[in-house]
Structure 1
Amino acid sequence: MFTAKHEVRWLSLIALLACFVATPSWAASPCSERKPTWWLPGKIECSHKSTWIASGAIGSRKVIYQTPAGTPPAGGWPVALIYQGSFFALDDFVYYSSEWLGKLYNEGKTIKTLLDNGYAVIAPSAPADLFWQTNIPGLSGSLYETSTDFSFLTNVFKAIDNGHFGPLNGKRKYATGISSGGYNTSRMAVSFPGQFKALVVHSGSYATCAGPVCSVPSTLPADHPPTYFIHGYTDLIVPWWSMDMYYDRLLQQGIKTGRYTESWGNHEWFDASPGKVLAWFKAHP
């Protein structure tokens, strides 16, 4: 006879089996996400590894990174480099929706989205975790190749090719970054020709621009990677029009480009950012 006692045991067995069945779905990601509630902030956390890469005269810089779960495709995982904004070092891949400038939470979502969709993520650090040298007067022009950024990033790219970060595909590199990291994303087109499949410049502009001080060359590199822009129309730090100049120049030269403008957005990551970054990278395999 099937009794209430049997029913409890049966339901317990079903629950246990459900846990085992569900395991692959949540274990298939190196990231976890807790949705925000009225009493608890949202949290995104992706596990990561760290290493140190030579950076010329100042020694070495930290790089944090993670690869997707599962078996890499033939040739290795495509890899997305994410460049920090000024003063916001990527020390780990942990984000809370309650943090000051909580829109950084969408940076965490971008990292999670890339990892969950088969892109390895590498986050090199700017000098002293401050800002990139791409637009520093005296280094932004012909002397850029004497900078520690150039030495460091060259070594990072070599490390990708040498398998230092795991089974990655150095021929499928992508880059994005916000603010100073957005300018540094543009630098990939200027000083590292042929290295990148596609770029997403977030709240930034051309490599040598700095806020409202911005001049885009009349001729861009012919092999400039396809470049997408994400920008807030009311950005008070990097004016929207400075991005627009860069965007127009790409259009004039017939270089693949696109953009997303957050109408009331300021200098920040947006809810739309993760999907826009992923879509642009996937469109350029």
Structure 2
Amino acid sequence: MFRSRFNCRILLLSTLLSLICTTAAWADSRCTERKPFLGIAGKISCSHQSTWISSGDLLSRKVIYQTPVGTPPAGGWPVVIMYQGSFFALDNFVYYSDQWLGRLYNEGKLIKTLLDNGYAVIAPSAPADLFWHTNIPGMAQLYEQTTDYTLITNLLQAMAQGHFGPLNPNRQYATGISSGGYNTSRMAVSFPGKFKALAIQSASYATCSGPLCVVPELPADHPPTTFLHGFVDAVVPWWTMDLYYDRLLYQGIETTRYTDPLGNHEWPAAAPAHILAWFNAHP
């Protein structure tokens, strides 16, 4: 009887200590992660806030965002604007490893990595949660008349005014996949001087579209840009990214690329560490 009670008390104490340690770990992060195990899907979940930003007369779009845990550094949090891919709205920061064939799970890991390493993350919505205007024929040439341009102009202004908390205006970055990757390039073309560095996933220059791609002379102040691309990408051919990469090299603009040899149109497992390192290298 004594041994049974003793064992129960040890088990209870162990459980309480485990809960305390788990709570402490959660307190250091906005995110929780459950690893895939024995057929149970992995899950990444990061808390978020939401707001609405005007994208034109009588129009507005939802923007979700989060800042890291803790006290912001002097000057405010560095901030990453993340642009969604086509048809994959960023309605929340919750990802499952068995969802969408797992192709966006590494996007969740990227968001967690950025938040855990002191970057605020802001994710505006594409029109109707579909795709960005930057490379749609007819709109690409009239970009400054689009609701995308109005939205991002207003978003940057709201960031400067403290709408999303204390953010560092001198450490603004952008990343995105597919349509969101093209839109990341658009930041260099239409919003000069606003971004310290860019990370483009599964996309190319702002006005390219899949295999239809011509990369013109780039602005001299084009931000340092890294690329991540699957070599067997069937949606956006790898060589279109290579055109952009070569143009940056030719003009003496800092650039790198990561190629996933067997990767298709998806975030690779290397994306979180690669993108964090790139942004950290450009404070």
Pairwise TM-score range, normalised by the shorter structure: over 0.9
Counterpart code for 1:261: T
Distance (Å, rounded) in 1 between the aligned partners of 2:158 and 2:247: 33
What corresponds to 1:145 in structure 2? 144
Distance (Å, rounded) in 1 between the aligned partners of 2:147 and 2:90: 18
Q: Is the 8 A contact 1:62 1:124 kept in 2?
A: yes
CA offsets, 1:55-101, max 9 Å, x none?
A: 01460000000111111111111001110001111011111111123
User: So what's the TM-score if we normalise by structure 2?
Assistant: 0.95
Counterpart code for 1:252: Y
- Once the two structures are overlaid, the 10-residue window that deviates more, 10-19 or 220-229, is 10-19
Counterparts in 2 of 1:1-285, with a 5 A limit? 9=9, 12-13=12-13, 16-17=16-17, 19-20=19-20, 23-57=23-57, 59-141=59-141, 143-217=142-216, 219-285=217-283
How many correspondences in the alignment?
282
SS in 2 for 1:275: helix
Counterpart code for 1:79: V
For residue 192 of structure 1, report the CA deviation from its aligned partner: 0.2
Q: Aligned in 2, Cα 1:18/1:153: closer, same or farther, shift over 3 Å? A: same
Counterpart code for 1:270: P
User: Percent identical across equivalent pairs?
Assistant: 68
For residue 175 of structure 1, report the CA deviation from its aligned partner: 0.5
For residue 170 of structure 1, report the CA deviation from its aligned partner: 2.0
RMSD: 1.7
Q: Aligned in 2, Cα 1:8/1:87: closer, same or farther, shift over 3 Å? A: closer
Distance (Å, rounded) in 2 between the aligned partners of 1:78 and 1:129: 26
Q: Is the 8 A contact 1:205 1:242 kept in 2?
A: yes
CA offsets, 1:211-247, max 9 Å, x none?
A: 0000000x21011000000000111110100000000
Q: Is the 8 A contact 1:157 1:170 kept in 2?
A: no
Flag structure 1 segments of 5+ consecutive residues without an equivalent: none
For residue 182 of structure 1, report the CA deviation from its aligned partner: 0.4
For residue 39 of structure 1, report the CA deviation from its aligned partner: 2.6
- Once the two structures are overlaid, the 10-residue window that deviates more, 40-49 or 100-109, is 100-109
Distance (Å, rounded) in 2 between the aligned partners of 1:123 and 1:283: 22
Q: Aligned in 2, Cα 1:45/1:14: closer, same or farther, shift over 3 Å? A: closer
SS in 1 for 2:196: strand
For residue 22 of structure 1, report the CA deviation from its aligned partner: 5.2
Q: Is the 8 A contact 1:57 1:148 kept in 2?
A: no
- Once the two structures are overlaid, the 10-residue window that deviates more, 131-140 or 196-205, is 131-140
Distance (Å, rounded) in 2 between the aligned partners of 1:12 and 1:234: 53
Counterpart code for 1:272: A
CA offsets, 1:251-276, max 9 Å, x none?
A: 01111100000001110111111111
CA offsets, 1:135-192, max 9 Å, x none?
A: 1122212x21111100000001111111111111122110000000000000000000
Q: Aligned in 2, Cα 1:58/1:182: closer, same or farther, shift over 3 Å? A: farther
